[in-house]
Structure 1
């Protein structure tokens, strides 16, 4: 349950973030000796790799089959269609399309003119760095896909192929991050001006660098595996699709216990009436919860939030320590919302759909790469210099999928809201809680169509309040 509807990352997400669908974040010239359209890309890199050359180059010299021949492309196209249908079916069947909604949202009914004006001014201020960051993301990804820039950067790197892949991810990520860094500083300054951030610059920088380190690690792991497969298997898209699915599921499972502690400390909610009521509510709801964790978010923000992550043995319900300052009934209602996610296995379903989408992306990469490889200055995925074009394609794919992901997410969040109301039967507290979240987090109360499409993973606060009033009417409760 996130208060601000645009994004958790206020500096404008977007880019070369091959590992993350939620939420997404963005990603010179140089180098002689890069292959142009008329030169053999893999062969150019052979001297750097101790005589190793790409599978594609070896095949051509030996008269072997082309990994992008017509038959292979037809097989990949059939697999793409079948897997695409499976992914769409999974998304359609697990998404609650028929969710209770209220009438047209009316911010003026629940928020003062000053609160509405403040939200509008804040949103306008944050939108500029956000859209500029998105523009950098798109432009840089386009450069990697449509020009040999990535190949030229990789040409300058020394070492065995796997090291060049890793260094390529590091260097390309560093380039785009240097471009985006001033925008991040701008966004952080705005957050401080509006009282949402309490971090000093050292803490902010450390968090940003840790986030980049996680991104680089996961992207490097993925691309090293991809290049290794392409060097061994002609139809590399088959094991790559399976590996992409497995990596997505594994990352979602281990993220709560491996990566989340890099950013926050988590402690069990202390014994007392609140914990007792929350555990009793979970038992009444039939959701096995061993613990409710509290994150020390107050060291960086004043925003209120809670979330559920992981599945199976790593599932956890987490509340920000800032949320504990709210009245106890409101905290209980927030946790009831998160119990709705746990009860419906939303994280697991989202992970499986994300895994199918990743597998779909691996096949699509094979088909699209064949048409772009010479423009990008490489001839095969087996060439480590292809890292740039692959990162660019994954970035563009992630951005293109964001509207669909947000649409599904909004319906899932609405279902969790209804679950919270069914469990607590307290629409008045629900409305009070939504007001508190919106005012404290300075949520956008009337997002424009573009922002709603690109950034809104939750319904707006007025929409959620309208839904609670509709629930009250249907269930014979006093309408707040």
Structure 2
């Protein structure tokens, strides 16, 4: 029964993913699709066509990737995972788990690798966004895999120990909360610098104005960095990261060419996330979500253990089945999580407009971002509800126009 239910949910999720992608594509590339009134001064017809072409290419890749991933997952559920379990049975339980997760991770990595390469070196290259060299890509992959292996060597023994307890979800939740805090703290200090170079902002005039905004916003951020994002992409961004002493403000070097009022509006938006305590709220939300997720995973784990479903025996294999089932179902909670994220973005937008005493600079920067990143100006409403962690540009601009 559990086997059939898992397969059904896997197929339904993929079918729904493809439906949303195709629905959004047809809606956004339909000849009747419009450029929103608030974007017409920046989004010329030739930019619209390029944006539609970009959307078509990305959607096609997503759909193919989703279908391939579904068939690979079904194979793993029906054949692959039991086979891996039997293959490593001769080793000690902990070494079995290391080999099992290593082999599974390698399979999933190799399945996703061609799509990642095609996305970066074909699609992003085609539209002038990619600046990553193959050497940089390979270096990033080595670093990423090395970090995953390092964290796995630390976490897998804890997992095996937890699975030896009849009820382990609450201990795992504490571990997850600790890991989330730990990651938020070390990410800007140790992990991000492995991939990017961070230098303190040298423009004294701009630095002074940013510090003035920080002071007026009552934010506690002492360090302002510029990140060499241009080594990998031409897209623009800025963000606040870290907690406690690791907190810092980061500007992509690709955004440094913006007019100063627009750049300051983006800075004020990011300060809004800090002042409104969105980082803390996201940590709490992530922890609550992880607790619910692990509770349900534990419940299903016990059910599989009792019914001998999937014909597997080892705790780590049973855990993967339970984790896979719950993560597949949790996909259908994405609209709720994205709704909460969009609310935070509206709050940060309003904060920026109020801090600068005008919404105009942020509106101008949003229009620039939409144009230069070839964002979809008219996504389907259902697609926005499901996937958009930020409000669509048209909605953000309309909300900003209402700020007095």
TM-score by length of 2: 0.83
Contact 1:308/1:316, CA 8 A, preserved across alignment? yes
Contact 1:151/1:386, CA 8 A, preserved across alignment? no
Query: Which residue of structure 2 aligns with residue 281 of structure 1?
Result: 213
Superposed, 1:12-27 pairs within 5 Å as: none
Structure 2: segments with no counterpart, 5+ residues: 1-9, 11-35
Superposed, 1:185-196 pairs within 5 Å as: 185-188=117-120, 189-196=122-129
Residue-by-residue CA offset, 1:399-418 (whole Å, 9 max, x unaligned): 34433222211111111011
* Aligned-partner Cα distance in 2 for 1:220–1:141: 24
1:377 aligns with one of 297, 311, 314: 311
Query: Which residue of structure 2 aligns with residue 153 of structure 1?
Result: 84
* Aligned-partner Cα distance in 1 for 2:95–2:299: 26
Query: Which residue of structure 2 aligns with residue 202 of structure 1?
Result: 135
Superposed, 1:104-183 pairs within 5 Å as: 107-108=39-40, 110-144=42-76, 146-147=77-78, 149-157=80-88, 159-183=91-115
* Aligned-partner Cα distance in 1 for 2:84–2:78: 12
Question: What do you get for the CA RMSD once the two structures are aligned?
Answer: 2.4
Task: Quote the offset at 1:291 in angstroms.
Answer: 1.2
Query: Which residue of structure 2 aligns with residue 448 of structure 1?
Result: 380
Indicate the SS of the match to 2:225.
Answer: strand
Deviates more, 1:209-218 or 1:409-418: 209-218
Query: Which residue of structure 1 aligns with residue 286 of structure 2?
Result: 354
Q: How many residues align?
A: 366
Contact 1:147/1:376, CA 8 A, preserved across alignment? yes
Task: Quote the offset at 1:226 in angstroms.
Answer: 2.0
Indicate the SS of the match to 1:326.
Answer: coil
Task: Quote the offset at 1:397 in angstroms.
Answer: 5.1
Task: Quote the offset at 1:138 in angstroms.
Answer: 4.2
Q: Are 1:267 and 2:199 counterparts?
A: yes
Residue-by-residue CA offset, 1:49-95 (whole Å, 9 max, x unaligned): xxxxxxxxxxxxxxxxxxxxxxxxxxxxxxxxxxxxxxxxxxxxxxx
Superposed, 1:20-419 pairs within 5 Å as: 107-108=39-40, 110-144=42-76, 146-147=77-78, 149-157=80-88, 159-188=91-120, 189-218=122-151, 221-231=154-164, 233-373=165-305, 374-379=308-313, 383-386=315-318, 388-393=320-325, 395-396=327-328, 399-419=331-351
* Aligned-partner Cα distance in 2 for 1:223–1:365: 16
Check 1:354–1:151 CA distance in 2 against 1; reply closer, same or farther (3 A cut).
Answer: same
Indicate the SS of the match to 1:463.
Answer: helix
Contact 1:407/1:457, CA 8 A, preserved across alignment? yes
Task: Quote the offset at 1:238 in angstroms.
Answer: 3.1
Task: Quote the offset at 1:193 in angstroms.
Answer: 0.8
Task: Quote the offset at 1:341 in angstroms.
Answer: 0.7
Indicate the SS of the match to 2:184.
Answer: helix
* Aligned-partner Cα distance in 1 for 2:335–2:329: 11
Structure 1: segments with no counterpart, 5+ residues: 1-14, 16-103, 476-480
Task: Quote the offset at 1:387 in angstroms.
Answer: 5.3
Deviates more, 1:384-393 or 1:258-267: 384-393
Task: Quote the offset at 1:115 in angstroms.
Answer: 1.7
TM-score by length of 1: 0.70
* Aligned-partner Cα distance in 1 for 2:366–2:228: 22
* Aligned-partner Cα distance in 2 for 1:209–1:450: 38
Residue-by-residue CA offset, 1:144-190 (whole Å, 9 max, x unaligned): 4x435213213223643223222222211221221222211221111
Residue-by-residue CA offset, 1:399-451 (whole Å, 9 max, x unaligned): 34433222211111111011110111232222211111111111121122454
Query: Which residue of structure 1 aligns with residue 366 of structure 2?
Result: 434
Task: Quote the offset at 1:463 in angstroms.
Answer: 1.8
* Aligned-partner Cα distance in 2 for 1:195–1:337: 27
Contact 1:147/1:377, CA 8 A, preserved across alignment? no
Contact 1:269/1:292, CA 8 A, preserved across alignment? yes
Contact 1:246/1:355, CA 8 A, preserved across alignment? no
Greater helix content: 2
Indicate the SS of the match to 1:376.
Answer: helix
* Aligned-partner Cα distance in 2 for 1:168–1:390: 16
Contact 2:130/2:232, CA 8 A, preserved across alignment? yes
